[in-house]
Structure 1
């Protein structure tokens, strides 16, 4: 087993500089994309909440989740396309790269098209029997579900057609396309509601935005890989791609709708939306890491893995603490007093799970890059029954808070298991030096102390903000002096200068 000392990750020669720097810059682009979309969502959501009302917004949340989670019908073909195409691209085999893309798309269509047909034909029975909705919302929910089923086809196909950009590490173009389409979707939903449209009109906007996203990625694919215009799926790739991609996903939103009410879903959805903010950084890093892990080998993988885990750990903890400090007044201003009352504790619980689960992106991407997505699938299958049972029981007993607890427990368990199996299959073990252990303990104490503020009866907004700012300043000082090496500090300064002044860092940026 390779032991990687977590502070000894400055050897630039270990990881090819062009790939390492592209991963870092790509992460920044992905983070910027998610950040812009998030800001747009935070601005638009209060208008959607008030325009639809709690119950209709609960249905809207369910439909949005189903667009995302029905995407399981791609059975991992977006990632499979990237991995197999990256291998072909590294060998310089452009026709093989195009074949990997088209094979993924064919497999996806074989699974997804029948599912769309079933959901479209049986949307009304699904809504009536699967969700506990007011009768006046059933017809609108059924129509929205059928439209969403068409929208997720475009969403899935876009994750395949962005493959030529991903394998060439063209993260900027991916980020721009996703940001433009995301902001258009988020911005137009409150507009159509203000103009008199309802739930169905909002879902039509989402489906249209997904279609636009697909068309833009398709155009980029044609520019970067002209061979993609000639469909050439390969039968011999079907089995390895299926073995790589198949997985199982479930959602606490659906369970909550079954055992509680659409209003409870709205409370949970608001809490979930805010809690997942902590995951925007690992999601950005994930998009850049996957093609890199698919191309690197040996000690280069070890170093990149250790650096990713370390970086995420340093960033996620203070972000989570600050979010806890400002959550209550933010919810009251942003969503209203009702949501501040009923969404606050689900938010705290979901934030804990998402903060821990954010680290799981690194071993997940590593296993996929090594071609061991089957291990991830087996873990998810093992987790599914305990999660369903706990989610059903906790939701029945405690409503939105119970659903949040079940989700967070699953995230924490999943993270522990993923790190364990990644260590086993990749033979990587991350260790810490005595100096760093002292720094970690100091940082943990520094971040934990401000949470005592939550025990006070309704501390004012200025007090919360002041404590949050002072905590961040003190944490950055401790992290800079005690947790980062001299080489890492120099590297951060170099990358910051390259990004700020738009010039290559030592001529190695390569993008």
Structure 2
């Protein structure tokens, strides 16, 4: 329980550190690289992200199966499973090298209509470093899955925080000395290798886990792929959702357009991480509940409880961004990125609904019922690609963002809620009824009251901080008196008293 509790705390600590560091480091990188080079850096990162999906969902598969073997106290089965998975990862690394080499050879043909010769040469170097590093570190996902399956949430999150801080320091020094995008790529590659080695040592020495082949049972491979293949489709879909705009704009527009779109989507990704910090640590617990035949209403209770907490946090972020996001981007990214606020907002508003249900994904994985989600998302993603290409040609980065949002609404909200209710037996009407009790009206009310703060004159960071702080107070008071239920108030007071007691 302490691992779960502190895992959530450290998840938010990691989010806080990550977001603060990125808020400081990203504009520093943009100004040092320039809009064009920054867009190129984001474009190649998106390209490599598509190769990264060759993980085939094995990381999540490892978490689920390790938790299952531990629940059965089957050490022999666990070791056999892990050895089999390691073999699969070794094959995947080889495939990545082959696929990456083919793409590397054809990069010039892919981007010849949108990138200059100099940009293409720089893109080749960055891509080469990234895909080779990806092939070397891909097996790390196995060890990350083992650590999560053993419900050790503290160590990986401490490691993540350390990596974030050290990476920021090194990049800041290198860019200050005049190094450019290549230096950032090399730093990330080195840190990936270091993190992989530390994770491997932790699994073998601390957790005393072994990878042993006790018997060559082909049914294990079949079971692994029957589960992971569906997660793989989901991962592909996520890549299409969040990175297709980068590629479309990179091919039909310019690196500057990619940079503008990328900033808006990065802010949307920050928004997403606030919900996954909670849901990510619940998969082992949900797996145990499923194996103990928890009812649909019991799982709905968990969905509601976590969903309301997620709404409380996400509502604060979204409300503040609606009011002050445009001013923030102007101060943070500088002139030329004003449209990024609208791009982020187009995506974040429907995400508020989607992200209150992230526990539902863990429930599907635990029940091995994520097949529909994978297939439905894949179909919607294909539509997303077609819509994004069409709209991007007409409206540029705004069109690409609208394509992503339409996919979110059709796939994540409409299709999935029907499936949750009909097949998974989650009580979705009760979920929305409980979610709307107090929270929705308080959220809208806090924004209406907070709009008064827009009349405070000034376009400086000090003015923005003052506005955000006052809005934070308005939001907390509005939610406390009109939004939060007794359970949430008790939880808040308990945590506040614990923190107060330490001082």
Shorter-chain TM-score: what band?
0.7 to 0.9
Q: Distance in 2 between matches of 1:92 and 1:245?
A: 22
Report the CA distance between 1:378 and its aligned residue.
0.8
**For structure 1, which segment, 183-192 or 286-295, has the greater mean C-alpha deviation from structure 2 after superposition?**
183-192
Q: CA deviation at 1:409?
A: 2.1
**Matched residues in 1 for 2:201 and 2:329: separation?**
40
- Mapped to 2, the partners of 1:183 and 1:435 lie a distance apart of 39
Closer, same or farther: CA 488–38 of 1 in aligned 2, 3 Å: closer
How much does 1:62 deviate? 1.7
Determine the C-alpha separation between the residues in 2 that align with 1:501 and 1:96. 45
Q: Which residue of 1 aligns with 2:473?
A: 473
Unaligned runs of 5+ in 2: none
Q: Which residue of 1 aligns with 2:227?
A: 244
CA pair 448-414 structure 1, distance change in 2 beyond 3 A:
farther
Contact 1:27–1:284 (CA under 8 A) maintained in structure 2: yes
Query: What is the CA distance between 1:437 and its match in structure 2?
Result: 4.8
Q: How many residues align?
A: 483
Partner residue of 1:386?
Answer: 383
CA drift of 1:429 comes to 0.6
Correspondent of 2:369 among 360, 365, 372: 372
TM-score scaled by length of structure 1: 0.85
* Cα separation, partners in 2 of 1:190 and 1:368, compared to 1, 3 Å: same
The whole-number CA distance in structure 1 between the counterparts of 2:487 and 2:392 is: 49
Q: Could you tell me how far 1:456 is from its partner in structure 2?
A: 7.9
Look up the match of 1:62.
43
Q: Deviations over 1:377-407 (max 9, x none)?
A: 2122211221011110111111111111112
Cα deviation for residue 204 of structure 1 reads 1.4
From 280, 284, 296, the counterpart of 1:287: 280
Work out the CA distance in 2 between the residues paired with 1:448 and 1:329: 16
Higher relative contact order (CA 8 A, sep 6+): 1
Alignment of 1:74-93 (within 5 A): 74-93=55-74
Q: Please list, as runs of the form range in 1=range in 2, the aligned pairs for 1:36-47 lying within 5 A after superposition.
A: 36-47=17-28
> What is the CA-CA distance between 1:261 and the residue it aligns to?
0.9
Structure 2 counterpart of 1:264, from 257, 261, 275: 257
Instruction: Name the CA distance, whole Å, in 1 between partners of 2:128 and 2:440.
Output: 52
Q: Offset of 1:371 from its aligned partner?
A: 1.4
> For the structure 1 residues 385 and 354, does the alpha-carbon distance in structure 2 shift closer, same or farther, using more than 3 Å as the test?
same
Distance 1:186 1:450 in 2: 37
Structure 2 residue 101 is the aligned partner of structure 1 residue 108: no
Q: How far apart, CA to CA, are the structure 2 residues paired with 1:155 and 1:501? A: 43
Match of 2:445 in 1: 446
Tell me if structure 1 keeps the 8 A contact 2:40–2:123. yes
1:457 CA drift (Å): 12
Q: In the alignment, which residue of structure 2 is the partner of 1:9?
A: none
Contact residue 300 and residue 426 of structure 2 kept, 8 A:
yes
- Which residue pairs with 2:210 in the alignment? 228
Change (3 A) 1:164 1:499: farther
| Structure 1: distance between partners of 2:423 and 2:434 | 29
Instruction: Give the match's secondary structure for 1:428.
Output: coil
| CA–CA distance in structure 2, aligned partners of residues 457 and 261 of structure 1 | 37
Counting only pairs closer than 5 Å after superposition, residues 28-427 of structure 1 correspond to structure 2 as 28-130=9-111, 132-228=114-210, 230=212, 235-246=218-229, 247=233, 248-249=236-237, 250=240, 251=243, 252-297=245-290, 298-299=294-295, 300-339=298-337, 341-416=338-413, 417-427=415-425
Distance in 2 (CA, whole Å) between partners of 1:484 and 1:163 is: 35
Aligned Cα RMSD in Å? 2.9
The answer for the alignment partner of 1:7 in structure 2 is none
TM-score, normalised relative to structure 2: 0.87
Offset of residue 256 of structure 1: 1.8
Return closer, same or farther for 1:45/1:470 CA change in 2, 3 Å cut-off. closer
Q: CA 1:210/1:423 → structure 2, altered by over 3 Å: closer, same or farther?
A: farther
In structure 2, the partner of 1:508 is none
